């Protein structure tokens, strides 16, 4: 059993692979208090962890003081705990006070799904779920706290459902999915920050007194911050020490916060950002919060990363491509932008097919009046001036070359110069009387409305049914502003942001169910919606619009901190690069793009003969190595965010039978010579490994402790890739 309940002390112990998580009922009043989260324990009596906590019920004289330091599992507002709360409310009388107390619990085999929301999954052999029922006896609200334990991973997931069992509506002002209180040990906060074309930069800083957080109120998880944070011992590092990782299975507004109060106690919270959030909860109705994933590691950041990767590969990503090889694609965007026709696309595809490329993707510009980015969004029908006869002749032509066919869509957006907008201007998110806040000259459709989702899906469905489409790139190129819906009354207007995300999930659910053969790839101005919620629907996500190989090193390293390499879409593009102007070798671009799904974003007709001749070898290497890359254990061999003149990483198979090592010299320094030495990780010490393509055989012990010298040509941006095979 993964979940244990000690009845005499009313204590819960949740045992994952090498981790225990404990909490219990403090007294007869029913306060639910956190006890422990860390390396696995076997002591059934966890009551020792909270017996020294004074009971508010038996110390009424200092009730408020006790509440201010009590380590609560689901803290609320306005009754003495002045730290950030997991729950907030405004009742009909205008009061903010609430208090949830333990009433009962039940233990379930497996893991129930969350209605309307993506979540991790597992069967009865893989996980158990604990539901703890709390009640506010004054407001007649019920909170169901859900904890799922994955027995073979150091993972516990958390979510909460609020039910109104009273006779009056209440207004929820915050419903966060997870809260963990830590003792005041020295800890550091790790998070990811960025922007367009520079996503997911890792940063580490000491947890200090006060509140520190990353968040998004942009309507998307955002490329400014990722819905992730980790707390780690100040002395912990890449491969050692205690680390506690948090990730949010949600694609909208979020907050991940940590607060050290005056006594040095630390509280970590994760959930929907209370900014732009409110929810009117009528009698008899319920609100389901999204899921938070909690990962513990005693092996530093490496252990955390590998646990997240294993969880998402096996218990989040679904569909036919979850564990199968993705086709090598070529996208026409950087080759043609809006200037193309059938002949031009077939010219690119024909040359690509001869090199072994397997999927041709037609990007923006094929529909409505879309000759530039000022018009056409919302009119999802093929423009026959561009593609005579519609989509089928082109798709058939691509298929005749032995390639799959895919296309780009942006269904959440609309241009004012479109038939859809002219017919339904009220279908956009807007505040009456306010000037539109345009971005990329487009507005956002109100996906909180079922009729809008239905109408857009009807058009998209017709397009996808008209030809043999086997890949869709779903883009979303702007943030949400002017938050107003013509369909929501004033007392529900703050529900818009969350209802919008539910609408997106609804449509992606329809797409994946009705067209299971389609490989769906999500994108949002690059990586602005690279989150676990999107991974539930699409096994890969466009990581960044910045395709420069050197810039991609940090972007991909930060992303891989918790997201598996199989989810990272990485492509080779032309030089000078369209985003940075940098010129890098074709081989280096290939080595960097190999760290994930693999493809090309370029005009293949303009490559040099040498570059063109390299493609078949790259495609063959992808086919040979991708099973290792997408299922093995990922190791960082260098911290690029501390020293950025080189980078190295490796992937080791689960049986430690093979490994792929990649090294990139970013800036050459005088006196470095032509060799760089790196120490490898994760190999079997007593095994012997041959470097593929050579006669050199070395022991795992030697490779990990003494390291290996990587020969590189002189100059900047050189790379090398070594494939090790156990003998």
What is the Cα 199 distance to its own chain's centre?
12
Determine phi and psi for 559, rounding to 5 degrees: -60, -40
Q: Residue 399: in which H helix or E strand, if any?
A: helix 391-400
Q: Is 433 buried (19+), middle (13-18) or exposed (0-12) by CB count in 10 A?
A: exposed
- For 703, the 3-state DSSP assignment is helix
Whether the Cβ atoms of residue 678 and residue 710 lie closer than 8 Å to each other: yes
Distance CA 506, CA 527 (A): 21
Cis upstream peptide for 576 (omega within 30°):
yes
With a CB cutoff of 8 Å and minimum separation 6, the contacts of 396 are: 467, 468
What is the Cα 182 distance to its own chain's centre?
25
Distances 487 to 6, 85, 269, 378 between C-alpha atoms, Å: 50, 31, 32, 19
569 is an active site residue? no
Give, as one character, the DSSP assignment of residue 545.
S
475 is an active site residue? yes
Give, as one character, the DSSP assignment of residue 536.
T
The two three-digit tokens of residue 399, written as one number: 């298929």
Distance CA 375, CA 440 (A): 11
CA dihedral 418, 420, 423, 426 (to 10 degrees): -110
| Pairing outcome for strands 718-726 and 658-665 | antiparallel
Neighbour order of strands in the sheet with 697-699: 633-636, 646-652, 658-665, 718-726, 688-691, 697-699
Q: Which of 84, 154, 181, 475 is catalytic?
A: 475
What is the Cα 340 distance to its own chain's centre?
34
Distance CA 88, CA 253 (A): 17
Distances 14 to 20, 100, 108 between C-alpha atoms, Å: 5, 21, 13
Q: Which of 545, 548, 569, 633 is catalytic?
A: 545
| Pairing outcome for strands 471-474 and 519-522 | parallel
Catalytic residue numbers, as ranges = 475, 545
């Amino acid at each position: 059993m993964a979940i244990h309940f000690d009845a005499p002390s009313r204590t819960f112990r949740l045992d994952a692979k090498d981790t225990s998580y404990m909490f219990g009922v403090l007294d007869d009043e029913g306060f639910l208090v956190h006890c422990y989260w860390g390396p696995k324990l076997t002591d059934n009596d966890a009551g020792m962890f909270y017996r020294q906590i004074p009971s508010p019920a038996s110390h009424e004289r200092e009730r408020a003081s006790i509440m201010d330091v009590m380590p609560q599992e689901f803290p609320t507002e306005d009754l003495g705990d002045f730290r950030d709360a997991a729950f907030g409310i405004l009742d009909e009388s205008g009061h903010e006070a609430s208090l949830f107390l333990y009433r009962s619990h039940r233990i379930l085999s497996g893991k129930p799904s969350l209605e309307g929301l993506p979540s991790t999954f597992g069967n009865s052999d893989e996980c158990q779920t604990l539901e703890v029922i709390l009640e506010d006896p004054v407001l007649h609200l019920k909170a169901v706290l859900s904890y799922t334990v994955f027995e073979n991973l150091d993972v516990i997931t958390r979510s909460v459902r609020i039910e109104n069992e009273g006779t009056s509506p209440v207004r929820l002002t915050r419903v966060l999915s997870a809260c963990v209180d830590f003792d005041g040990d020295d800890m550091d906060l790790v998070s990811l920050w960025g922007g367009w074309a520079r996503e997911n930069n890792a940063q580490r800083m000491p947890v200090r007194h006060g509140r520190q957080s990353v968040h998004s109120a942009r309507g998307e998880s955002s490329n400014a911050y990722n819905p992730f944070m980790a707390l780690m011992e100040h002395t912990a590092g890449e491969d050692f020490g205690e680390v506690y990782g948090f990730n949010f299975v949600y694609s909208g507004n979020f907050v991940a916060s940590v607060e050290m109060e005056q006594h040095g106690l630390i509280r970590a919270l994760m959930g929907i950002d209370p900014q732009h959030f409110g929810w009117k909860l009528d009698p008899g109705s319920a609100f389901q919060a999204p899921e938070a994933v909690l990962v513990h590691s005693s092996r530093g950041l490496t252990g955390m990363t590998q646990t997240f990767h294993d969880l998402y590969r096996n218990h989040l990503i679904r569909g036919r491509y979850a564990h199968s090889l993705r086709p090598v694609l070529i996208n026409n965007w950087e080759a043609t932008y809006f200037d193309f026709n059938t002949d031009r696309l077939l010219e690119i595809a024909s040359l690509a097919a001869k090199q072994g490329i397997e999927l041709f993707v037609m990007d923006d510009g094929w529909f409505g009046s879309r000759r530039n980015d000022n018009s056409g969004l919302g009119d999802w029908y093929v423009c026959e001036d561009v593609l005579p006869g519609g989509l089928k002749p082109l798709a058939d032509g691509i298929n005749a070359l032995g390639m799959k066919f895919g296309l780009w869509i942006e269904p959440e957006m609309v241009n004012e110069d479109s038939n859809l907008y002219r017919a339904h201007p009220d279908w956009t998110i807007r505040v009456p009387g306010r000037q539109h806040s345009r971005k990329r000259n487009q507005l956002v459709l109100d996906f909180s409305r079922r009729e809008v989702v239905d109408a857009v899906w009807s058009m998209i469905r017709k397009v996808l049914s008209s030809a043999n489409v086997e890949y869709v790139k779903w883009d979303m190129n702007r943030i949400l502003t002017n938050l107003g819906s013509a369909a929501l009354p004033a007392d529900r207007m703050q529900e818009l942001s969350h209802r919008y995300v539910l609408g997106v999930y609804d449509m992606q659910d329809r797409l994946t169910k009705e067209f299971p053969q389609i490989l769906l790839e999500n994108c949002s101005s690059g990586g602005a919606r690279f989150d676990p919620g999107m991974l539930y629907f699409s096994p890969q996500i466009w990581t960044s619009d910045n395709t420069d190989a050197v810039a991609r090193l940090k972007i991909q390293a930060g992303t891989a901190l918790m997201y598996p390499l199989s989810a990272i879409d990485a492509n080779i593009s032309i030089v000078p690069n369209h985003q940075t102007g940098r010129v890098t070798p074709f081989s280096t671009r290939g080595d960097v793009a190999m760290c994930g799904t693999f493809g090309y974003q370029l005009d293949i007709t303009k490559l040099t003969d040498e570059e063109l001749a390299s493609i078949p070898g790259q495609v063959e290497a992808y086919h040979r190595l991708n099973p290792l890359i997408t299922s093995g254990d990922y190791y960082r061999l260098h911290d690029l965010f501390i020293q950025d003149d080189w980078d190295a990483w490796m992937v080791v198979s689960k049986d430690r039978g093979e490994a792929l090592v990649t090294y990139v010299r970013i800036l050459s320094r005088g006196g470095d010579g032509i060799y760089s030495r790196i120490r490898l990780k994760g190999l079997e010490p007593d095994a012997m490994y041959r470097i593929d393509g050579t006669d050199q055989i070395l022991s795992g012990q030697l490779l990990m402790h003494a390291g290996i010298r990587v020969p590189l040509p002189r100059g900047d941006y050189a790379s090398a890739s070594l494939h090790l095979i156990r003998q």
